[in-house]
């Protein structure tokens, strides 16, 4: 019998914005050092899918992953103050009002309705699903989505109990921080950054996501060249599909 903990359903949003003359920028946060999971790591906004997300998903029968999409949007608003996938797009003051309402545990969909807003779940593109089986204090079965940043959005701000900074940067720039040792990222985040670093536009990233239907990725360990490596399938759209175990667990 496996002694692994049961994975917690979660959702993450890779929020993107175009950058003139360069590749898209992604929104990432550096988690606080006291978090139980991925302490101090660079991550995309996101969190667990809760019962209220499933309740809110009822009207969205066209999306089998509606609860995950709703959780990804809700968590992004709470953690960064940006409000994607909402119609009409809220201005910064309205986005902050939504954030404060979420912080008070107001029902998300009811909060939107009170402000004359609604969810646009079609604005999210399914990108990946990861469920690592490492023996961590917590395991997550996480759905990743792509979305474009709202045109009227203010600069993101941190949720102080969860992050020490939040910033925009290209995937290549984020990876450079990790490689230089000035930041760290867990295995799935690095693989997703490597995949996203190949695209020169949001449209190209979305097209790649559509070309690689999402399936659950569960990394495994195997010997390669006499060294244990953490591996993933080689046909899921990722340019790097194996990494030595000692670096996979350290960075």
- The bridge status of strand 46-48 relative to strand 220-224 is unpaired
Q: How far apart are CA 156 and CA 135, in angstroms?
A: 33
CA nearest to 193, candidates 236, 239, 232: 239
Report domain extents, the chain. Answer: 8-211
What is this structure's pTM? Answer: 0.94
**Fold (topology level) of 8-211:** Nucleoside Triphosphate Pyrophosphohydrolase (3.90.79)
Give the CA dihedral 238, 240, 241, 246, nearest 10 degrees: -140
Residue-level pLDDT at 33? 59
Q: pLDDT tens-digit profile of 168-206? A: 999 999 999 999 999 999 999 999 999 999 999 999 999
- Sign of the dihedral through C-alpha 200, 240, 166, 104: positive
Q: pLDDT tens-digit profile of 107-148? A: 999 999 999 999 999 999 999 999 988 766 678 999 999 999
Contacts for 154 with CB less than 8 Å, ≥ 6 apart: 81, 82, 92, 95
pLDDT mean across residues, the chain: 92
């Amino acid at each position: 019998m496996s002694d692994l903990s049961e994975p917690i359903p979660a959702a993450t949003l890779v929020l993107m914005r175009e950058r003139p003359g360069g590749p898209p920028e992604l929104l990432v946060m550096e988690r606080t050092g006291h978090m139980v999971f991925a302490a101090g790591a660079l991550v995309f906004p996101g969190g667990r899918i809760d019962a209220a997300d499933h309740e809110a998903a009822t009207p969205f029968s066209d999306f089998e992953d509606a609860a995950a999409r709703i959780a990804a949007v809700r968590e992004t608003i709470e953690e960064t103050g940006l409000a994607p996938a909402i119609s009409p797009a809220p201005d910064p003051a309205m986005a902050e009002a939504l954030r404060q309402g979420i912080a008070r545990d107001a029902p998300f969909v009811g909060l939107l309705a009170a402000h004359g807003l609604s969810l646009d779940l079609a604005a999210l593109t399914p990108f990946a699903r990861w469920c690592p089986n490492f023996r961590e204090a917590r395991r997550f079965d996480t759905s990743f989505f792509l979305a474009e940043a709202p045109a009227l959005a203010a600069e993101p701000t941190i949720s102080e109990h969860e992050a020490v900074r939040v910033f925009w940067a290209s995937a290549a720039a984020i990876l450079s921080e990790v490689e230089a040792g000035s930041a760290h990222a867990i295995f799935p985040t690095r693989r997703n950054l490597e995949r996203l670093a190949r695209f020169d536009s949001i449209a190209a990233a979305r097209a790649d996501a559509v070309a690689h239907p999402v399936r659950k990725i569960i990394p495994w360990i195997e010997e390669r060249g006499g060294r244990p490596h953490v591996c993933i399938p080689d046909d899921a759209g990722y340019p790097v599909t194996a990494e030595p175990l000692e670096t996979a667990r350290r960075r």
